[in-house]
Amino acid sequence: MKTERDEKRLERLKERLGEGVGAENYRKLSKIANPELHLFVAKYVELCDPEKVFVCTDAPADIQYVRREAVRAGEEQELATPGHTVHFDGYYDQARDKKNTKFLLPEGVDLGPGINATEREAGLAEIHEILRGIMQGKQLFVRFFCLGPLKSEFSIPAVQLTDSAYVAHSEDLLYRQGYEEFVRLGERARFFKFVHSAGELDGRKTSKNIEKRRVFIDLEDETVFSANTQYGGNTIGLKKLAMRPAIKRASREGWLTEHMFIMGVHGPSGRVTYFTGAFPSLCGKTSTSMLPGETIVGDDIAYLRSRDGEVRAVNPEKGVFGIIQGVNSEDDPLIWRTLHSPGEIIFSNVLVTEEGGVHWIGKDEEEPKSGFHHSGEWKPGKLDDEGFEISLSHPNARFTLDLQLLENVDPALNDPEGVAVGGIIYGGRDSDTKVPVERSFDWVHGVVTMGAALESETTAATLGKEGVRKINPMSNLDFLSIPLGKYIKNHLEFGAGLENPPPIFSVNYFLRDRNREGKFTNEKADKAVWLKWMELSSHGEVEALETPTGLVPKYEDLKRLFRAVLGKEYSKEDYARQFTVRVAENLAKIKRVVEFYKTKVPDTPKVVFEVLEEQRRRLKSSL
């Protein structure tokens, strides 16, 4: 029910937009018959006080206006290749701000240990004070998107308010336009809400007041607030920030929001089997989803629902906000070709050369001797204010593009029915325990020993200390908005409701040989063989050997696949090195996982400990 205050806000919004140039923007907003939406826009227009308001529809002219504004305002610069632009974040605004990313929780609500949260009313008061007048002299973009294919039961409408044309432009590439979906749904739209301001900008058009950088997630109202930051992970609200309210909504409604790619693996006789895959950072997620010869539905997030006893999945996004460091012509040929072709692509925090090209760490071309990037003019040896050398691009430099630019995009990307999931993959960086590929005995065994027990080692390049093991259940720990025990219970119950649950697999590309100076037991390209074996296994077309930890391929099948897929021989010696069960290491892993759940997850389902104990007994009896 509207209050008197609400009515006055709506009147002021009409006065503000109802005359002159603004009249067209008011007409666009009024076409959507949703009072909750109107009140939301009115509230934050009044609070943030922008000079102009632009309501963007799905019309190509409106979308092009946003792109032009990003360049005109100096948030992006055009590059030599047609369609390419570059954006620079501030030098100290280059990654997700975990410290200031907080859940706003009502009194008495506890999401468990390790969750960064603050009391809801106090948090709302703080962010509203920061947002007060923050858009004065700036333009507010009112954007409408759809998380998931249009006209689909999977999908969630979303409205974004932002004063950054760069953020608005990025979302055009990453998400499906949703204005007409809002018009279609009217009052039935149960939408997510996002409010962002880059805040005061410095001379380089980057956020100035980062000491007041805040990212607050209000689960009660399904609203995300972001202020005084431009980096995409803090500002492109529909991405990882939207995962938090989506996980909460999925938990209430009996479906899953997962940190997973969706890809089509091409099997015999033209068959395509769809797999989802969850991998922590630097564990092979992108390289798996982009394997040549296969097709991609999504590289990062998946919504999974049970329909008629089977799992179906959609990608809530339609684009990629990808890390560019290390992308090269040999390991990433599909992405490489796209990044070097005309098309609408935003590069961020890379080095721009005098010719208007771009360079990044790990690009297999001769490094430029000078250029321009997020620190300003750059030459090798340049130091920052703390005396650290500044690399030629930021390690977290990114590219943003529509999946349609990739030659391997799957035709089912926008299917409102989603794709049938034929298998689920969990992968981590593990030097001494897990075999390269393994199938679980059943759904519960897979959820517990491969998903809930997903563990990965840190690398020296990223955290300064190599080999530190981190348990990251389903590779989703950073984004959970419900207690971890509840999250695992949801997976177990989801599988119990399936007629024929898809098989669950684990992969490990980083197993090292104890007898060969610690070299990897497999090569980078071998993952293509593991993937083909999983595709055949999901259809019951290959047999497997039962081990204490799961089902592994038979040597004869892998030998045939190595010839067919990679054109090379596969020796019994390699097979033995890779698929011999390392009992002591597996027992040590179980001990670590049990300790984690006993000490840090008070609501762990009992079956987790039962399944781990059964695995421990099988391992002990194999000695």
Structure tokens at 616: 């421990």
With CA atoms as reference, report the closest residue to 130 among 192, 197, 50, 194.
197
Name the DSSP letter for residue 320: E
Name the DSSP letter for residue 282: T
CA dist., res. 139 & res. 146, Å (int): 23
Residue 138: count of CB within 10 angstroms of its CB: 21
CA dist., res. 120 & res. 575, Å (int): 55
Alpha helices in 132-239 (DSSP H): 165-174, 179-185, 232-235
- Reduced to 3 states, what is the DSSP secondary structure of residue 313? strand
The number of residues making up the chain comes to: 623
User: With contact defined as beta carbons under 8 Å apart, do 222 and 244 qualify?
Assistant: no
Q: Give CA separation, 251 vs 256, 499, 556, in Å.
A: 7, 20, 43
User: With contact defined as beta carbons under 8 Å apart, do 424 and 362 qualify?
Assistant: no
Residue 52: exposed, middle, or buried by beta-carbon count in 10 A (0-12, 13-18, 19+)?
A: middle
CA dist., res. 440 & res. 198, Å (int): 46
- The dihedral sign for the CA sequence 266, 406, 476, 150: negative
- Of the listed 48, 56, 146, 283, which one is catalytic? 283
E strand map for 494-543: 504-507
Residue written as token pair 């019309």: 59
Name the DSSP letter for residue 554: -
Q: Give CA separation, 622 vs 270, 367, 430, 592, in Å.
A: 41, 53, 22, 20
CA dist., res. 25 & res. 27, Å (int): 5
Q: Which residues pair with 445 in a beta bridge?
A: none
Catalytic status, residue 283: yes
Q: Which residues of 456-484 are buried (b: 16+ CB within 10 A; e: fewer)?
A: bbbbeeeeeeeeebebbbbbbbbbbbbbb
Which residues participate in catalysis according to the annotation? 283
